[in-house]
A and B are shown apart, each in its own frame.
Chain A
């Protein structure tokens, strides 16, 4: 196996390399996915473009309108960032649940989104947070909502010559509580069998907004606005929580893999949507 190994030290250098190799190139960020696939000889790219030396892609910038996170930001840095812990605890909590600390020290948020592995934690939470992904190529810049970015198993709308250059998370609503519940069916460091992220805003005990995303159990993370809206203007009593959990379980087409059957995952969605709603209602998070 042989390939060209490029280490551009500028964004324009990286984009030109991507434009030249197109589909035949693989971008190397943290390497936790690409290197494994190379080792197993599952991929044979003509070029490996290491973007580690590209400056200004590793940042966490807090603005009044929200948070900008650079694609090369390590999951561990997001987990430990006091700014994110304060303004968007859901994201730091979720990144802290990924694999183990050695992986989190290496894996990047941009790499995680570009790989689009369904069995992953951050995409589910980023969907609940209504994240936007900015991509750049020599042709220009695009900004996409996350639901328009992940479109299938390991499939994104990222063009072969594009690089993720920013991830934006709009400021969370005031008086909101949020949590991510990761369910692992095998071992403590495993990828999720089912992941549920919830963000709920309250006026007293009345829920004014609910965002609920389910991932890892289905091809791409999903939100169901019709069911989310059932919570609007209501108190999240046990009956309503049960209805929402049942609605999610019945509506989502679940997948089958080594971590659980489709039937099992439907049950796990019901259980974990219920638990996550009880957590945000009771203010445990």
Chain B
């Protein structure tokens, strides 16, 4: 399934880009993230808890940066599983940054493949969960950018 969305950050494109690529900083804004450790420059291993409808899922897996084209294009692949729910998720994540008059518009596309028990939740439920997470994420990033600007 495809999950798409945009959010806007009130900061110049190069500031946003640097922030998003600072994985350690950026990951603090991902809702539900438990741990994230660096394997090498391209890969990180992490765990993420997310509530999908009535179900609490805990994913652990690896995120690999596939294409990094400063300052506007980023592609990553995510390969994770949730042992308790016997489910696997493979996703390709693409983010495109566009500068506009008063900030940066981030457009993201996720091609998600869910297998196992969690797959019974259709696109609608997963998409809505993802959209809410993106909203929380962008709000948090904006706050962090504001506070670093203030310094």
Q: Is the CB of B55 within 8 A of A258?
A: no
Q: Is the CB of A37 within 8 A of B124?
A: no
Interfacial chain A residues near B54, Cβ < 8 Å:
37, 42-43, 115, 154
- Whether a CB of chain A sits under 8 angstroms from the CB of B53 is yes
Interfacial chain B residues near A152, Cβ < 8 Å:
128, 132
| Selected A-B contacts with CB under 8 Å, 23 pairs | A37-B54, A37-B55, A40-B117, A41-B117, A42-B54, A43-B55, A43-B56, A44-B84, A115-B54, A152-B128, A152-B132, A153-B53, A153-B125, A153-B128, A154-B54, A154-B125, A155-B53, A219-B128, A255-B122, A255-B123, A256-B122, A256-B124, A257-B123
- Whether a CB of chain A sits under 8 angstroms from the CB of B85 is yes
**Sorted from nearest, which 5 A-B pairs have the closest CB atoms?**
A154-B53, A255-B124, A257-B122, A153-B125, A42-B55
- With A152-B128, A153-B125, A153-B128 as known contacts, state yes or no: A41 contacts B85, CB within 8 Å: yes
Number of chain B interface residues as a range: 10 to 19
Q: Is the CB of B124 within 8 A of A219?
A: yes
Query: Residue of A at shortest CB range from B125?
Result: A153
Interfacial chain A residues near B122, Cβ < 8 Å:
255-258
CA distance A106 to B40 in the complex (A): 55
Q: Is the CB of A256 within 8 A of B85?
A: no
Interfacial chain A residues near B84, Cβ < 8 Å:
41, 44
Number of chain A interface residues as a range: 10 to 19
Give chain A's interface secondary structure class. loop
Report B114 CB to chain A, min CB distance, Å.
Answer: 13
Interfacial chain A residues near B56, Cβ < 8 Å:
43
Within 8 A of A (CB), among B19-65: 53-56
CA distance A256 to B126 in the complex (A): 11
Report B112 CB to chain A, min CB distance, Å.
Answer: 14
Q: Is the CB of B55 within 8 A of A153?
A: no
Interfacial chain B residues near A257, Cβ < 8 Å:
122-124
CA distance A100 to B124 in the complex (A): 26
Q: Is the CB of A42 within 8 A of B117?
A: yes
CA distance A118 to B54 in the complex (A): 12
Q: Is the CB of A42 within 8 A of B85?
A: yes
CA distance A257 to B119 in the complex (A): 12
Within 8 A of A (CB), among B93-149: 117-118, 122-125, 128-129, 132
